[in-house]
Amino acid sequence: MIIETAGKILESNNLCDHCLGRLFAKLGRGTNGERGKAIRFVLNMERSAKGLPPFEKPETCELCGNVFDRIPELVEELENVSSGIEFETFLVGSRFPPEVREKEETLWREFGIETAEPINREFNRELGKAFGRVVGKETSRDPDVVFIVESYSGKIELQINPLYIYGRYRKLVRGIPQTPLPDFEDSVASIVCRPFSKASGGKCVFKGAGREDVDVRMLGNGRPFIVEIKRPRRRNLDLNAIAEEINASGRVEVLNLHLVSAKEAEEVLTGNHRKEYLALVRVDDGVTPEEAREVAERLRGIEIHQRTPWRVRKARADRIRIKKVHEAEARWLDGRHFELRLVTDGGLYIKELVSGDRGRTSPSVSELLGKPAWCERLDVLNILDD
């Protein structure tokens, strides 16, 4: 049946071995070029026995225009385009003119072909194999780089996939925003990103799993973050050396840097973590040790109804969030101050939990005390992973 069908096709179509073999791609093993050559050979043996002329391989294939003969020169172009780019894995894609795909599909319908594969799939595979042999790299479904080849013009687009690095940062001093802000020379993001950009040759984007205010330190085990490096020219980064350079700033420290996948990065950034805080509470009307202790006892295990704080109302949706205080401990310091250690759901604004924010947070420390209270100083002690 294969030989009979192939004979009918070649009677009206001048096809190269690739395009002939691709019509039967789902049958047997080997490349389409090998398959087409074998089919032509057997078909011509039968025709010779019948005294018929052979189906010679055409000088120019009517379907593909001998595009597969261009693979060696395209391999050289792929090398040129990727010169100076570090990568271990790659993928090749291609674009073919619509008329080529339409002619191919017309051929399938005309001869009832159900065993074929599209021309671009074979072209991608064969070009990828040839390029991989030359550069000693492997193809992958999750590649470092992607080449998109215009099959006939030879134009090549190079897509360099980003790197994702997970870490945790500790902000050791107050007065530094997490991301760049006007009137601030530096930020956690700029301190972290400078060495990454220098080492990779790419553009660094910093993404924190939540944020703390400018005047709040981030201590303890540090806040999770992701560094996304777009179009890196170098992928083999010395993460220990980068960490040392960041930590030498004396203002920000990073811990546990390691590469992650895009999916893992997304999970880090979308997770909702409990947080441990230490707040210095000021009560101008005075506070006793008993009052401080009672506030902590009443906060422990309570649900807080918190409307979007007044100070961030322009940047956040105005709605009521319900968050829980899981742990609360108080340490009285003097007649106007006590420390409050809290473990809460992520997303609870602690300064407003203390002040009440004009009644937008309830209950609050001010409400429980029956007199105004303010958060004079705040530290994030730990981010508690699930």
Positions marked active-site: 213
Tell me, letter by letter, the H, E, C secondary structure of 324-363.
EEEEEEEEEEECCEEEEEEEECCCCCHHHHHHCCCCCEEC
| Buried b or exposed e, range 122-143, using 16+ CB within 10 angstroms | bbbebbbeebbeeeebeeeeeb
* Residue 166 annotated as lining a ligand binding site: no
Give Cα separations from 272 to 65, 83, 209, 223, 224 (angstroms). Answer: 56, 42, 8, 12, 11
Q: How far apart are CA 20 and CA 176, in angstroms?
A: 66
Query: What is residue 144's DSSP assignment?
Result: S
| CA count, 13 A, side-chain hemisphere, 246 | 31
* Antiparallel, parallel or unpaired: β 138-139 and 89-95: parallel
End-to-end CA distance of the chain: 62
* Residue 277 annotated as lining a ligand binding site: yes
- Enumerate the β-bridge partners of residue 166: 226, 258
Give Cα separations from 66 to 58, 69, 384 (angstroms). Answer: 9, 6, 61
- Enumerate the β-bridge partners of residue 145: 90, 160
Q: Which residues contact 169 (CB under 8 A, 6 or more apart)?
A: 188, 192, 208, 218, 222, 223, 225, 252, 253, 254, 255
| CA count, 13 A, side-chain hemisphere, 32 | 25
Q: How far apart are CA 67 and CA 58, in angstroms?
A: 13
Task: Provide the annotated binding site.
Answer: 277, 349
Task: Provide the annotated binding site for substrate.
Answer: 277, 349
